[in-house]
């Protein structure tokens, strides 16, 4: 497997223990946001602390991206002949927030609200050095069948 | 506070118009609105104009005549028309002006809207990753809603089929061919559960509305229509809106519910008083959800209402009588004003073959746009 590079270190860190999403937590009211931002959307405060978000959760809402997005900005495959639809959904990270991300599953019959998901990465394209530029995605936890 | 009347309406047809700039379409709408009110551009004291991709609206004065008026540009995504109207409404209501105009026009390239996201970081990781498409939000919201409230795929097709039927009777509409529910269901799946014909397309067009103090309205129109209220709301914490990299765990009402409640309260009427409604239908699921969010039914009740034809032109509550965004396309700056244009026609009894037969007295419009803003108006005759 070729070396991987994150789409943005500010939102996605690739660690030896796997991918990690970086958000922020409000020191005043405990609200979580992703990506990190300077102000709190809940209490309007501005004491935000950088945090690593949880990597497991449950699927809250989903759709399937059925056509190639415009490029730019999209870095993945946009050729009509080879484009593969991909899932998009919100995953509830317990006690924190819901994160929007790609899903590794793109079959409507295999997606169901409430199913358990975990954080992984998917390659978008190679960079100039032949490394995979990756973004984050959620994949159904093994043994989970809708 | 002075009451406000709409005394002139003008439109440039929606659709695709090769060789005609978006601003020219706006100028044509302005001239038609002035003609409808029996005035000229020289009589206009102020303008609020909106356009996303067809140039700064105030540049239009070079086409219309350099009279020196204050011309303010407004921009609020798909709710831009609502914001232009809100601004014009309050400019007159405050007593600062007697007569002015709200203008909206646009001209978008083909295909889905290009994501324009600012995520706080330097890199556009959101768009690069294949997220940030507005179509994804609409797919997720209605998919979640269908499972919560038992709305069927057939209902999504019913909404789109109604839009194209109504569009076929609207000479200003872009899509004028009726489509069957099965054709709609079998078209390409763009963002599950929404197919190609369930989505509106970015398009072109222009609309202008001449507004004045209600006490002088009869100088300009034998059939003035009164703008009872115009409300715009942004989102509160916990709501579920377009292009959001995260959502809160707790749920809060969205801007449509807030704007609708405020509008009914300000106008002193309720949903049961509305005779015709134009609701944001970026895709057919949005019309279904917006029926409930605007207070016209309970969540889930839409399934039976659509099967019974309640929202058809001859139904209990006609919705999107001009074909809505689905048949007209969405030139962002003009879209919200198109809804008001249609309601003025309906309240004047001048909507021709698509006139609602219930002798309408009170009419309602609702626009929704990124990043989570809603605009509502209530008109009466």
Domain segments of chain B as ranges: 4-110+200-380
pLDDT band at B72 (very low <50, low <70, confident <90, very high): very high
Q: Which domain holds residue A96?
A: 4-139
Task: Compute the average pLDDT of residues B364-376.
Answer: 93
Task: Compute the average pLDDT of residues B214-241.
Answer: 96
Please judge whether A98 and B130 are an interchain contact, meaning their C-beta atoms are less than 8 angstroms apart: no
Please judge whether B129 and A60 are an interchain contact, meaning their C-beta atoms are less than 8 angstroms apart: no
3-state SS string over chain A? Answer: CCCEEECCCCCEEEECCEEEEEEEEECCCCCEECCCCCCCCCCCCCCEEEEECCCEEEEEEEEEECCCCCCCCCCCCCCCCCCCCEEEEEEEECCCEEEEEEECCCCHHHCCCCCEEEEEEEEEEECCCCCEEEEEEEEECCCCCC
pLDDT band at B360 (very low <50, low <70, confident <90, very high): very high
Task: Compute the average pLDDT of residues A44-56.
Answer: 97
Task: Compute the average pLDDT of residues B207-232.
Answer: 97
Does the structure show a pLDDT above 70 at B173?
yes
Please judge whether B144 and A61 are an interchain contact, meaning their C-beta atoms are less than 8 angstroms apart: yes
User: How much is the mean pLDDT over chain A?
Assistant: 95
Does the structure show a pLDDT above 90 at B331?
yes
Which residues of chain A are within 8 Å of residue B140 when distances are taken between CB atoms?
Answer: 61-63, 88-90
In this prediction, residue B123 carries a pLDDT of 72
In this prediction, residue B32 carries a pLDDT of 98
In this prediction, residue B371 carries a pLDDT of 87
Distance CA B86, CA B145 (A): 30
Whether residue B371 has a cis bond before it, omega within 30° of 0? yes
Which residues of chain A are within 8 Å of residue B244 when distances are taken between CB atoms?
Answer: 100
A138 touches chain B (CB under 8 A): no
Task: Compute the average pLDDT of residues A3-25.
Answer: 96
Task: Compute the average pLDDT of residues B17-32.
Answer: 97
In this prediction, residue B370 carries a pLDDT of 86
User: How much is the mean pLDDT over chain B?
Assistant: 95
pLDDT band at A100 (very low <50, low <70, confident <90, very high): very high
In this prediction, residue B78 carries a pLDDT of 82
* Shortest CA distance from A77: residue in chain B: B130
Please judge whether B115 and A70 are an interchain contact, meaning their C-beta atoms are less than 8 angstroms apart: yes
pLDDT band at B9 (very low <50, low <70, confident <90, very high): very high
A41 touches chain B (CB under 8 A): yes
B141 touches chain A (CB under 8 A): yes
Give Cα separations from B35 to A66, B41, B345 (angstroms): 46, 9, 15
Which residues of chain A are within 8 Å of residue B112 when distances are taken between CB atoms?
Answer: 67, 69-70
Task: Compute the average pLDDT of residues B290-318.
Answer: 98
pLDDT, one tens digit per residue, over A72-87 is 999 999 999 999 999 9
Which residues of chain A are within 8 Å of residue B129 when distances are taken between CB atoms?
Answer: 7, 74-75, 102, 124, 135-136
In this structure, is residue A145 part of a structural domain? no
Does the structure show a pLDDT above 90 at B202?
yes
> Chain A: nearest CA to B140, how far in angstroms?
5
Would the ipTM clear 0.90, i.e. be above it? Answer: yes
pLDDT, one tens digit per residue, over B101-136 is 999 999 998 876 665 555 555 679 999 999 999 999
Instruction: State how far Cα B24 lies from the chain centre.
Output: 21
pLDDT, one tens digit per residue, over B185-197 is 999 999 999 999 9
Q: Which residues, other chains included, contact B105 with Cβ-Cβ below 8 Å and sequence gap of 6+?
A: B12, B22, B23, B25, B26, B29, B49, B51, B54, B57, B205, B206, B207, B331, B333, B334
In this prediction, residue B114 carries a pLDDT of 60
Please judge whether A100 and B245 are an interchain contact, meaning their C-beta atoms are less than 8 angstroms apart: yes
Contact A16, B131 (CB under 8 A): no
Task: Compute the average pLDDT of residues B81-100.
Answer: 96
B2 touches chain A (CB under 8 A): no
A contact test, residue of B147, B150, B245, B252 with most A CBs within 10 A? B245
Which residues of chain B are within 8 Å of residue A12 when distances are taken between CB atoms?
Answer: 125
In this structure, is residue A130 part of a structural domain? yes
In this prediction, residue A2 carries a pLDDT of 67
A25 touches chain B (CB under 8 A): no
Please judge whether B125 and A10 are an interchain contact, meaning their C-beta atoms are less than 8 angstroms apart: yes
Fold of the CATH domain B4-110+200-380 = Peroxisomal Thiolase; Chain A, domain 1 (3.40.47)
> Chain A: nearest CA to B194, how far in angstroms?
9
In this structure, is residue A112 part of a structural domain? yes
pLDDT above 70 covers what percent of chain A? 97
pLDDT, one tens digit per residue, over A53-72 is 999 999 999 999 999 999 99
Number of domains in chain A: 1
In this structure, is residue A126 part of a structural domain? yes
Please judge whether A98 and B133 are an interchain contact, meaning their C-beta atoms are less than 8 angstroms apart: no
Please judge whether B122 and A31 are an interchain contact, meaning their C-beta atoms are less than 8 angstroms apart: no
Which residues of chain B are within 8 Å of residue A74 when distances are taken between CB atoms?
Answer: 127-130
Contact B240, B261 (CB under 8 A): no
In this prediction, residue B77 carries a pLDDT of 84
């Amino acid at each position: 497997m070729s070396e991987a590079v994150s789409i943005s270190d500010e939102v996605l860190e690739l660690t030896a223990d796997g991918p990690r999403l970086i958000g922020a937590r409000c020191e005043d009211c405990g609200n979580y946001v992703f990506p990190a931002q300077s102000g709190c959307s809940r209490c309007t405060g501005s004491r935000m602390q950088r945090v690593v978000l949880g990597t497991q959760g449950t699927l809250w809402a989903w759709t399937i991206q059925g056509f190639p997005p415009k490029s730019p900005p999209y870095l993945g495959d946009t050729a009509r002949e080879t484009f593969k639809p991909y899932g998009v959904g919100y995953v509830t990270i317990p006690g924190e927030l819901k994160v929007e991300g790609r899903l590794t599953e793109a079959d409507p019959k295999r997606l169901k609200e409430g199913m358990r998901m975990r954080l992984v990465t998917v390659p978008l394209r190679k960079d100039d050095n032949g490394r995979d530029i990756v973004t984050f995605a959620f994949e159904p936890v093994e043994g989970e069948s809708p | 506070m002075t009451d406000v009347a709409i005394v002139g309406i003008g439109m440039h047809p929606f659709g695709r118009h090769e060789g005609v700039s978006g601003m020219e379409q706006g100028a044509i709408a302005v001239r038609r609105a002035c003609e409808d009110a029996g005035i000229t551009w020289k009589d206009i004291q102020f303008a609020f104009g909106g356009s996303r991709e067809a140039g700064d609206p105030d540049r239009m004065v070079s086409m219309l005549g350099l009279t020196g008026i204050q011309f303010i540009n407004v921009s609020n995504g798909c709710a831009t028309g609502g914001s232009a109207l809100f601004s014009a409404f309050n400019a007159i209501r405050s007593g600062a002006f007697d007569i002015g105009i709200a203008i909206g026009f646009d001209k978008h390239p083909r295909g889905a809207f290009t994501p324009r996201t600012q995520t706080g970081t330097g890199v556009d990781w959101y768009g690069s990753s294949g997220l940030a498409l507005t179509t994804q939000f609409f797919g997720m919201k209605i998919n979640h809603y269908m499972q919560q409230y038992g709305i069927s795929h057939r209902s999504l097709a019913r909404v789109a089929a109604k839009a194209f039927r109504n569009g076929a009777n609207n000479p200003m509409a872009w899509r004028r061919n009726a489509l069957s529910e099965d054709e709609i269901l079998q078209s390409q799946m763009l963002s599950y559960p929404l197919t190609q014909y369930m989505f509106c397309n970015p398009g072109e067009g222009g609309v202008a509305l001449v507004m004045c103090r209600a006490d002088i309205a009869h100088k300009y129109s034998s059939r003035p229509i009164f703008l009872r209220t115009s409300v715009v709301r942004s989102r509160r914490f916990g709501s579920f809106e377009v292009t959001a990299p995260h959502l809160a765990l707790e749920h809060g009402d969205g801007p449509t519910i807030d704007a609708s409640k405020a509008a009914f309260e300000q106008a002193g009427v309720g949903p049961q008083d509305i005779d015709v409604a134009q609701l944001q239908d970026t895709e057919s699921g949005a019309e279904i959800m917006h029926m409930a969010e605007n207070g016209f039914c309970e969540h889930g009740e839409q399934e039976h209402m659509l099967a019974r034809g309640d929202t058809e032109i001859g139904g209990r509550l006609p919705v999107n009588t001009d074909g809505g965004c689905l048949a007209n396309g969405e030139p962002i700056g003009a879209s919200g004003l198109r809804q008001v244009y249609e309601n003025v026609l309906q309240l004047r009894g001048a909507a021709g073959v698509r006139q609602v037969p219930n002798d309408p007295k009170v009419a309602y419009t609702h626009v929704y746009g990124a990043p989570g803003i809603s605009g509502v108006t209530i008109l009466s005759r």
